[in-house]
Amino acid sequence: MLKKIAFLLLLFLLISPLEGCWSRREINEIAIVLGTGVDWTAEGKLRLTVQIANPGAFVGEGGRGQEATNWVVSAESKTIEEAERVLAKMVPRDLHWDQSIILVLGEEMAKKGTNMVTDFFQRNIEPREIMWLMVAKGEAKNFLETYSELEKTSAQAAGFLTRMKTGYSVQLWEYAEMLASKGVQPVATRVEVKEVGVTPGLDLEKMTPIHKQVEISGVGVFKEDKLIGWLDEYETIGLLWLKNEFIKGVITIPSPSESNKEVSIKIRRGSTKIVPEFDGENLRFTIKVKVEGDMVEQQGREDLAKPDKIKALEKEMAEEIKRRAIVLLQKAQGEFGVDIFGFGDDFHRKYKKAWRELKDQWDVKFAEAEVNIEVEAYIREISLLGKRASSPEK
């Protein structure tokens, strides 16, 4: 027993200098990258921009008060890895990508092709595939240079915004999946830098006239890996519905008998089913949408707590959904001519043989397809107010 222990101890002592803690990196020797941006410059080079956290400014009392929370630095080069090497000459610590929350592509970069960028972030171990992918209107560098009022950095702010799924949010792996599939063309969140006037707290004296902040403003549409156009916020909600993601949507429709007053319905849950039909020649899709919602706001004074009024509201709600879907479909089939909804995947599942022939010309086929929309809408609740207090009816 004693011999065994002595042997093991010796073995351990002999091994420990050999491995020498080679991958050890103290936390205060690394530069934590919070957000990454890539632009395509006018000279035809890649510009890598990183937002590096300054940890000292992150803790309340122990921290060093008014320091900037981050440092945005960029470098230009032919590839991302080379640009990182250039950055290494400027940044006194090792760049660590594992906490990078967002990957922002500049508009020009996205038009040039995303494959040049995403490869580095997928191939390497450190960057995570769950980082949010977004396309900036304008330059990614500008986007990273803004700051947020509530969060410490713009990268975190953008990360939280996309995580709440107010728009259509895409993670790097989802984007890669869409890119790999022939049955769907990729989309990515569009972000913008907006200039707004902000009143900080109650102190009116110190009013900042203009502040740049980040905002989610729709979706960028790709054909293969190249950006071809945008969808605005109104259309993005339609996209969410058609892609079976009924999250946090609101539908506003006119009140049944007071057409100048609006009623807002918050979507509770819903589902979309796409049924492809193919007879060898003609391609037809039936989109079956089922939505449940709660009425949350009414501008008019009529009593909606009646079955016939609810029915009317439900009908109007279904119409509204249909209208939006048609607008969006027309845009996708006409203006862009790409299948951003993933109809191709549904078709693939049902007609495996036909898919083999159609897959290479799918976008053309999609653009020609006939699409029917069937919407079933239900209102489940009208919340706490049954009748308006000043209701004219008894």
Partner 1 sequence: MVKFRKLTKAGLLGQIQDNFKKIIASDASSKSIVLSNDLEINLQRIKVILHKCSDVVYRDFIFAQNEQIRLALIYIDGLADSGQISNQIMRALALEVPMAVPGQNITKSEALEFIKQRGLCISQFKETEQMQDIIHAILSGDTILLVDGHATAIINNSRGKVQSLSNSEGKTMVRGPRELFVENLRINTALIRRRIKSPNLKIETFKVGNVSDTDIALVYIEGIVNEKLVAEVKSRLEKIKIDAVLESGYIEELIEDNPWSLFPTVNHTEKPDKLAAMLLEGRVAILLDGTPVVLTVPNLFVEYFQTPEDYYQRFLFTPAARFIRFISMIITLILPSLYIAVVSFHHELLPTPLLLSFAAHREVVPFPVFLEVFIMEVVFEVLREAGNRLPQLIGQIVSIGAALVLGAMAVQAGFMATSTVIVVIFTGIASFVFAYSASIAFRLLRFGLLVLAGTLGLFGLISGVAVIAIHMCTLRSFGVPYLSPIAPTTGADLADVIYRAPWWAMFSRPRLIAGQNRKRQEQGLKPSPQKNK
Judged by CB under 8 A, the chain residues 132 through 191 that form the site for partner 1 are 156
Binding-site member from 55, 113, 254, 337 for partner 1 (CB under 8 A): 55
Judged by CB under 8 A, the chain residues 94 through 113 that form the site for partner 1 are 96, 98-99, 101
In the complex, the smallest distance separating the C-beta of residue 36 from partner 1, rounded to whole angstroms, is 14
Of 54-62, 304-312, 337-345, 359-367, the segment contacting partner 1 by CB under 8 A is 54-62
DSSP code per residue over 102-167: EEEE-HHHHHH-THHHHHHHHHSSSS-TTSEEEEESS-HHHHHH---SSSSSHHHHHHHHHHTTSS
Residues in contact with partner 1, shown as a per-residue x/- string from 332 to 351 under the rule CB under 8 A: --------------------
| C-alpha span between 136 and 104 (Å, rounded) | 6
Rule CB under 8 A: is residue 28 a binding residue for partner 1? yes
Rule CB under 8 A: is residue 91 a binding residue for partner 1? no
Binders of partner 1: how many residues, by CB under 8 A? 30
In the complex, the smallest distance separating the C-beta of residue 54 from partner 1, rounded to whole angstroms, is 9
- Does residue 349 sit in helix, strand or coil? helix
When the beta carbons of 33 and 265 are compared against partner 1, the nearer one is 33
* Contact between 293 and 251 (Cβ < 8 Å): yes
For 12, the token pair is 């351990």
When the beta carbons of 32 and 109 are compared against partner 1, the nearer one is 32
Q: Which residue has the tokens 């740049």?
A: 212
When the beta carbons of 152 and 315 are compared against partner 1, the nearer one is 152
When the beta carbons of 28 and 361 are compared against partner 1, the nearer one is 28
Q: Which helix (H) or strand (E) holds 317?
A: helix 307-330
Measured CA to CA in angstroms, residue 289 lies from 12, 20, 241, 245, 277 at distances of 65, 61, 8, 11, 17
234 exposure class (CB count in 10 Å sphere: 0-12, 13-18, 19+):
exposed
When the beta carbons of 130 and 296 are compared against partner 1, the nearer one is 130
Rule CB under 8 A: is residue 63 a binding residue for partner 1? yes
Of 18-26, 167-175, 196-204, 263-271, the segment contacting partner 1 by CB under 8 A is 18-26
* Contact between 217 and 161 (Cβ < 8 Å): no
Rule CB under 8 A: is residue 32 a binding residue for partner 1? yes
Cα-only R_g, the chain: 27
For 213, the token pair is 């902040």
* Contact between 112 and 86 (Cβ < 8 Å): no
Rule CB under 8 A: is residue 129 a binding residue for partner 1? no
In the complex, the smallest distance separating the C-beta of residue 285 from partner 1, rounded to whole angstroms, is 42
Rule CB under 8 A: is residue 279 a binding residue for partner 1? no
Angle (CA) 178-292-249 rounded to 5° is 50
Rule CB under 8 A: is residue 14 a binding residue for partner 1? no
Q: Which residue has the tokens 């999250």?
A: 247
Of 51-59, 178-186, 190-198, 243-251, the segment contacting partner 1 by CB under 8 A is 51-59
Contact residues toward partner 1 (CB under 8 A) are 1-2, 5, 16, 19, 21, 23-28, 30, 32, 34, 53, 55-59, 62-63, 96, 98-99, 101, 126, 128, 156
